[in-house]
A = this chain, B = another copy of it.
């Protein structure tokens, strides 16, 4: 065990020292000392594992159906056609579905969290779209060269991403339901999401990822840097998704924070798996199950949401 779970300001944080493979148990595959970054955001390149399929697929299908309903092909087609294409062609992540799953765990109906899940899907698709724009100063991918085929010009991709982002917030603010008096919940969710995707969240992770991809593995504590990025990327985004679902499912503060931690672990596990950090996965998976135990102890059915924990 080379890592230790620390809780700083209430937020779970995984820290790893830069040790060699010497004290690694022999039954585990060798731990990479200098892990190469994948060419695109790891969160968007990790396909949802097979074990998630039944529950995740049901949630994801509902989110996509909802988005097709609220984002019809309409005028101006020159704007909505690329919007459709770029939203639905972006790699799927488990973040939006986890938002619905957290809401359902607390006996909420998934439609209560549908706007938040849709907004998360939109914002991650916009981020992916912008990440793919070829700019001369961006570091070139090493293992996966950029495909030459592009459905739209970089200018359209830039503008479309810029249109998708406010549309996510538009959906959220529209989900205000006078009958349910949920405006405080929605404002809190807008705050959670804007922070998770913003300058201290996903954007910070992407900046650091760009820096790291330039360092070419020469940095002394490369794995630590990767973990820092993962905490705001996969970890932070899944934490946000689960917390938003908990808020909209009517969770109390303890439930919201338990689900935030659970989401963080779910995201970290995905990131660790994609980076081949096998030993750390085992530790974090135990922590994720511990968070779910709280809900089981309170007579909640946590089986469905536990499928978000990847087994390797």
Contacts and interface: CB of A to CB of B under 8 A. Distances in A.
Interface of A: 76, 78-80, 83, 123, 126-127, 130, 133, 135-138, 153-156, 158-167, 169-170, 172-174, 176, 183-184, 186-188, 190-191, 193-195, 197-200, 203-204, 206-208, 210-211
A136 B135 CA distance: 9
Copies of this protein in the assembly total 2
Contacts of A200: 76, 79
B137 A199 contact: no
Contacts of A211: 78
A166 B135 contact: no
B173 A187 contact: yes
A156 B161 CA distance: 16
Nearest to A183: B183
Contacts of A204: 76, 79
A175 to B, nearest CB: 9
A178 to B, nearest CB: 8
Nearest to A135: B154
Contact of A187 (B153, B176, B206): B176
A115 to B, nearest CB: 12
B162 A130 contact: yes
Contacts of A123: 166
Contacts of A78: 207, 211
A32 B173 CA distance: 42
Given A76-B207, A204-B79, A155 B135 contact: yes
A198 B158 CA distance: 13
